[in-house]
Amino acid sequence: MSTHATAIDSNSPPADPAFPRKHRVPVLGHAVALLTDPLGALDDWAKEKGDLYRVKLIWNEAWIVNRPSEIERILTSAKGFRRDEDSRRLKHMLGDGVLTAEGSLWMRERRLLQPAFHRDRIAEYARVMVDLGAAEFDRWQSGPRDFNHDMMGLTLRIASATLFGDGEGEVDAEEVGRALHHVMHRFSGATWLAPLWAPLPKMRAYHRAVERLDQLVRGVITRRRSRGGAGGKDLLSMLLHVQDEDGSRMTDTQLRDEVLTLLIAGHETTAVALTWTGHLLSHHPEVQAKLHEEARSLAGPPTASDYPRLKYAEAVLQESMRLYPPAWAMGREVVDGFQLAGHDLPDGARVIVTPYSTHRDPRFFHDPLAFRPERWMDGSLANLPPYAYFAFGGGQRMCIGKGFAMMEGVLLLAELARRFAFHPKPGFTPVPFPAITLRPRDGLHLVIERRTPEGARA
């Protein structure tokens, strides 16, 4: 899928604000296309209108922005924007966690969470990541697998262990995974726009899932409080004791919101990134060979100290997230007027930036649909505009867990490469499912082949 065949140069005059003609229907505007095939529609509109245009969304409109200079201004504007309406729908589930809070509340939550994601603390979690990965991979046999299911389960166990500690056995990762499945399906297609009271099967399943997630997380907090906050080096222990500048601590509701946010965001995006990486590797044995060779150069299973050496694994993960960014679109809403490429946007105007489209722009990435990790190492991206690649967002609200996610993804990828070769499953083609994240719609079915300890295929 090529994009931006007629993309506008970053220094060109203001874009024609007219709406794309393709996929527009009476009354509903472009909403149907965005609900049924948003990736295909974005590709078509980029070809027609370039990297800056408007779409009609039934009762309002939105600006689609794929121009790095304007993306940078949007994501780094500290006061000009807030989360858009679609993003605010997450508040019903996540409350006022760091992902959904705004203004001074967000600044306080971010400040309280920041020490938990210091690089030294992340390094302490590396052993948890690799140990849980090794335990999972020990059980695998050569043959077909749903790799997406595997990665969702593994990263959820890692998120649970780093949040609650190894001894907190009350949280069942399988149960949480089932609940999150219903949550994700509520945030897809027409159900995304449905009111919370809508008598739809997906909505009823969503409400049950949110209620169960709330019970699970509050239960852990209550039990930990009853022990005086005792724990270990897990994130919950830290959050129970962290104090703001005025000496105040998090309430149970604030803890619930942050823990649930970290539990969901802390595993979902990494799982999606690894899933699509597995798909791409299965179709590129030459990349697998280089990745395996790098992993074999380690003295044993990867550790935090090995992380800086795993340059090719890091490039593979970056390239995978370029083609299949887990956060495929990000919405903002103007709160104090904003001039976008010469156009005055009023308060309430919606702006959407799309990593999926921008990452596939041939102005910035030669042969953009090719999976070529080497582009991140050979200097060809030396002049890449800062926001031509923004898999983790940007500005003040850049993903707080970026360092955690990258270390987890790279270490697990290296351990996978040490142990297995990946092959596509005949007759199966994954279909991207754009919901909150870019999951594969029907999982990711591939065939794994266990390697011998010396690295040859078994």
Could you give the CA distance from residue 313 to residue 294 in angstroms, rounded to a whole number?
A: 8
Torsion of CA 136, 141, 146, 150, to 10 degrees: 0
pLDDT of residue 114: 87
Point out the residues of the chain with pLDDT beneath 70.
1-17, 166-171, 188-193, 228-232, 453-458
Could you give the CA distance from residue 146 to residue 444 in angstroms, rounded to a whole number?
A: 5
pLDDT of residue 2: 46
Could you give the CA distance from residue 197 to residue 192 in angstroms, rounded to a whole number?
A: 13
pLDDT of residue 165: 78
Q: What domains can be seen in the chain, in order of their start residue?
A: 31-450 (1.10.630.10)
Contact 446, 282 (CB under 8 A): yes
**In residues, how long is the chain?**
458
Q: pLDDT tens, 154-196?
A: 999 999 888 887 555 556 777 888 888 888 777 766 666 677 8
Contact 14, 28 (CB under 8 A): no
Q: pLDDT tens, 316-364?
A: 999 999 999 999 999 999 998 899 988 999 999 999 999 999 999 999 9
pLDDT of residue 167: 53
pLDDT of residue 59: 80
pLDDT of residue 191: 67
Could you give the CA distance from residue 213 to residue 211 in angstroms, rounded to a whole number?
A: 6
pLDDT of residue 455: 52
Single pTM value for the model: 0.91
SS3 30: coil
Could you give the CA distance from residue 176 to residue 153 in angstroms, rounded to a whole number?
A: 9
| Helix, strand, coil % over all residues of the chain, rounded to 5 | 50, 10, 35
